[in-house]
Amino acid sequence: MTHFSDRQLIDFFSQFITDERLTLFQDILKNRTRYLTVVLEDIYQTQNASAVLRTCECFGVQDIHIIENQNPFKVNARVTLGSAKWLTLNRYNKEENNTVAALDRLKEQGYRIIATVPDPKATTMEQFNLAAGKAAIVFGSEKPGISKYVNEMADEHLTIPMHGFTESLNISVSAATIIYTLVSKLRKSKIDWHLNPVESDELMLKWLRKHIRRSDLLEAHFIEEQSQKMT
């Protein structure tokens, strides 16, 4: 079968959406990042986990890593409002301890493992050094928090300072606070946090395929037609 590049397929699919929608996709891509990624470890309340997905999409964090040890993850459509389909969800649910598989993969990809903890001695968001390299921010389950393994393997621990009687925030609120603060710092920095051209094309093609009705049939027809022209 003849192989066509992502760019060729993007050019083909672009004729099936409005110019306004295409411009919107391009503008959003310019603000997407993989410099920061979010890890959800065994979250048992689907509405909280889904709220984190929505936050990530709103603030431009593309990749989410979902660890399912005891609690299977299900997207709560009423909470995400469709945001999940624009994200890259990486799920870990095939091992006895999926946390190990997730952290190993992230470290192979060059990420620092940043564990979120309710510890006043941990690094605050203001102190956190984004320039030290890509960071995977790990959020643990509602009551137990991060696992012992994450705590031991973390390159750094991150906290939100508390000044009231309550010692911690709901996970969805914690994630929103941390993600917004770090993404805001990242965008003001001199760090190259954008997707590279190959990543942008891959993501654009993925979005076009999801957005255009019967894109699979259109693509098959395009490939067949172009292959015949080349023979």
In single-letter form, the type of residue at position 206 comes to K
For the stretch 152-179, pLDDT in tens is 999 999 999 988 888 778 889 999 999 9
Q: Mean pLDDT score of the chain, rounded to an integer?
A: 92
Which range has the worst mean pLDDT, 25-34, 56-65, 102-111, 116-125?
116-125
Q: Which residues contact 222 (CB under 8 A, 6 or more apart)?
A: 4, 9, 12
CB atoms within 10 A of CB 11: 11
Gyration radius of the chain's alpha carbons: 20
Instruction: Determine the Cα angle at 173 with ends 169 and 178, to 5°.
Output: 100
Query: What average pLDDT does range 67-85 have in this prediction?
Result: 87
Confidence at residue 2, expressed as pLDDT on a 0 to 100 scale: 55
Helix (H, G, I), strand (E, B) or coil at 155: coil
Domain ranges of the chain: 32-194, 196-226
Which residue type does 188 have? K
Contact 177, 38 (CB under 8 A): no
Alpha-carbon torsion angle 127, 169, 50, 66, nearest 10 = 60
Minimal CA–CA distance to 139: which of 165, 113, 120, 121? 113
Phi, psi of 61 (to 5 degrees): -85, 115
pLDDT for the residue numbered 44: 81
Q: How far apart are CA 67 and CA 46, in angstroms?
A: 13
Q: Domain 32-194: give its CATH code.
A: 3.40.1280.10
pLDDT at 45 (0 to 100): 84
Query: Considering the entire predicted model, what is its pTM?
Result: 0.92
Task: Tell me the one-letter amino acid at 157.
Answer: H
Contact 5, 202 (CB under 8 A): no
State pLDDT tens for residues 216-230.
Answer: 999 988 888 888 777
